[in-house]
Amino acid sequence: MKTSAVHIERNRTARRNGAGAPHIVIREACDRDGVVLGHLVASHDGTPEGIVAAARRASQRMFAAFADACNVNSRIIATDGAGRPRWRVSPNFAVIEELAAM
């Protein structure tokens, strides 16, 4: 399987911004066309309430940093204690969905 340069660059950017770290929320800021503007990271305590609070903090920072950010197109992922992506958070913070095991 061929890996695109965009995919590789996204992985490098995510690692620089904390992906793979335990108990963090990663907000991938995208514009209305789905173009990635940047990544924001906030730590959480592993509880659903802590994940939502961290997602809200990352979202506030996203809108302050990127005027063109689109809430719906900007993904929110939370890692577990081992640093693996474990949960997806809805843009309105109402749903925390466990990701399928890979």
The 10s digit of each residue's pLDDT in 26-84 is 999 999 999 999 999 999 999 999 999 999 999 999 999 999 999 999 999 999 999 99
Q: What is the number of other CB atoms lying within 10 angstroms of the CB of residue 46?
A: 13
- What distance in Å separates the CA atoms of residue 50 and residue 29, rounded to the nearest whole number? 20
Residue 62 contacts residue 26 (beta carbons within 8 Å): no
Say how many residues make up the chain. 102
DSSP 101: P
Residue 55 contacts residue 78 (beta carbons within 8 Å): yes
Confidence grade of residue 19 (pLDDT, cut at 50, 70, 90): low
